[in-house]
Amino acid sequence: MQVIILAAGRGTRMGTLTDSVPKPMLKVHGKTLLEHKFDILPADCEEIILVVGYKAEVIRDAYGDSYKGIPVRYIEQETLDGTGGAVWLARPFIKDRFAVLMGDDIYGAEDLAATLAAPDWALLVERTKNMAEGGIMVVDENNHVLGIEEGDHRGKAGVMNTNLFVLDTRVFEFPLVPKAAGSSEFGLPQTVVEASKAFGIPVHAIDSTSWVQVTAPEDIARAELLVPAPLN
């Protein structure tokens, strides 16, 4: 099993915090956001694929060609054309089943394990009474993802997409889908939903228990409160 981590963006909302480092290298409890993901990867993880861009050399210098024995491959995303575009850059290197994680969010080990344990394809979701920005994921009574309702849903109850996916190489057989009509960015959620419909592959919605989204400077302090400090 391989893992793709999207770490190409600067994180402009973080202000001066990302003047000298990319957002995934910001720290919570002394560990970078990337390390919070590296340290929950399953024992059968064969390779970490990092899609890098802004200040990529900072990430390369920190981790080199391996992390605690797991090989690390770097792919440069020269054009920021969305999460779908980023994942498709890894297409030549993916062998079979793989996970996709965002470089700037913090996920729980149990949530990742539950998503990996699902059959077919899977997406970690957050059920909330107060939606943030972004589309609402449409989930049926069998916890299968059916679609995305775009629009401004802030303040409403709904199902949020954490962008932690478990997929396999079949997804690459479907053309990338724009994030929105006329957009130059390709959305991974949009592509997965349409590929699921076309191929008849269920996308299982797995409920999150400990997802921490990091989008603004105040989220670092919030993460310090929500994420347990490392024991060592």
Burial of 146: CB neighbours in 10 Å, binned 0-12, 13-18, 19+: middle
- State whether the Cα torsion 109-114-120-121 is positive or negative: negative
Question: Is residue 187 one of the residues assigned to a domain?
Answer: yes
What does the pLDDT read at residue 231?
64
Burial of 153: CB neighbours in 10 Å, binned 0-12, 13-18, 19+: middle
Confidence tier at 128 by pLDDT (50, 70, 90) = confident
If you average pLDDT over residues 76-93, what whole number do you get?
A: 96
Q: Which two structure tokens, joined as six digits, stand for 79?
A: 């054009």
Question: Is residue 117 one of the residues assigned to a domain?
Answer: yes
Question: Is residue 38 one of the residues assigned to a domain?
Answer: yes
Q: How far apart are CA 130 and CA 86, in angstroms?
A: 29
Q: How far apart are CA 40 and CA 55, in angstroms?
A: 24
Beta strand pairing call for 31-32 and 27-28: antiparallel
Question: Is residue 232 one of the residues assigned to a domain?
Answer: no
Question: Is residue 17 one of the residues assigned to a domain?
Answer: yes
10-47 residue pLDDT tens: 888 898 989 999 999 999 999 999 999 999 999 999 99
Please give the mean pLDDT across all residues of the chain: 93
Nearest alpha-carbon partner for 85 in 172, 151, 10: 172
Q: What is the residue range of 222's domain?
A: 2-226
Per the listing, tokens 């992390």 go with 67
Q: Total domain count for the chain?
A: 1
- CATH number assigned to the domain comprising residue 38: 3.90.550.10
pTM over 0.85: yes
Question: Is residue 231 one of the residues assigned to a domain?
Answer: no
What does the pLDDT read at residue 97?
97
Q: Does the pLDDT of residue 66 top 90, yes or no? A: yes
Question: Is residue 55 one of the residues assigned to a domain?
Answer: yes
Per the listing, tokens 């997804």 go with 171
Confidence tier at 134 by pLDDT (50, 70, 90) = low
Neighbours of 55 (CB within 10 A): 17
What does the pLDDT read at residue 232?
58
